[in-house]
Amino acid sequence: MHECMKTIALAVLVTLLAASCNARSDGAAAAATAQQRAADELKQAVDEHLTNAAKKAPARRGDFSVVINGAKLFAKNCAQCHGPRAEGVVNWQRRDASGNFPPPPLDGSAHTWHHPRRQLINTIKNGGRAMPSFSSKLTEIEISNIIDYLLSLWPDEIYAVWAERNAQFEKRSQ
């Protein structure tokens, strides 16, 4: 849940709690009704906000079983370098003694979202400077499942930017 949503949810809970406490301690029906009405209005505003935010966020590829399969494949093939939660390694932005960058985060907090899906597939298939090739270990479908899992980790804002960039890349590549 994003920070904005957490803040709104907390505000709703506090308002509902206050309405409940006021109704019990006051005993005044009018005050309780006004508090409840305010709580109901706040809840409705939050529900509308969340509905509108959900409408604006682009749909994620894949279904739940694809994401779960991607998570399992990630754990088996990628987590030893990129971390169990795709968090990467500390100081991933600094070159190691060999001049290579350590495994970066893939959870949306680093640069992975700058790359279109095709490039992500290519990197997993063929490897990179320090990354091994997985072309003999993973099928293209398995690679795509891993990418869908990673995309599921990204905040909506990051995913939305990536989805737009990816669509533009695909359009240019046609």
Look up the pTM and report it: 0.67
How far is the C-alpha of 115 from the C-alpha of 121, rounded, in Å? Answer: 10
What confidence tens digit (pLDDT) does each residue in 77-124 have? 999 999 999 999 999 999 999 999 999 999 999 999 999 999 999 999
143 CB neighbour count, 10 Å cutoff? 23
Dihedral class, residue 86 (left if φ above 0, else alpha if ψ from -120 to 50, else beta): left
Q: Where are the alpha helices (DSSP H) in 57-154?
A: 64-77, 79-82, 117-126, 140-153
- What whole-number distance in Å separates Cα of residue 155 and Cα of residue 46? 19
Specify the CATH architecture of the domain 64-173.
Orthogonal Bundle (1.10)
Residue that wins the pLDDT comparison between 154 and 45 = 154
Q: What is the pLDDT of residue 30?
A: 67
pLDDT tens column, 70-82: 999 999 999 999 9
Token readout for 77 is 């093939």
Q: What pLDDT score does 63 carry?
A: 84
Of 10-14, 40-44, 66-70, 93-97, which gets the smallest average pLDDT? 10-14
| pLDDT classification of 2: cutoffs 50, 70, 90 | very low
CB-side neighbour CA atoms (13 Å) of 32: 10
Residue 138 has pLDDT above 80, yes or no: yes
Hey, where are the domains in the chain?
A: 3-56, 64-173
End-to-end CA distance of the chain: 36
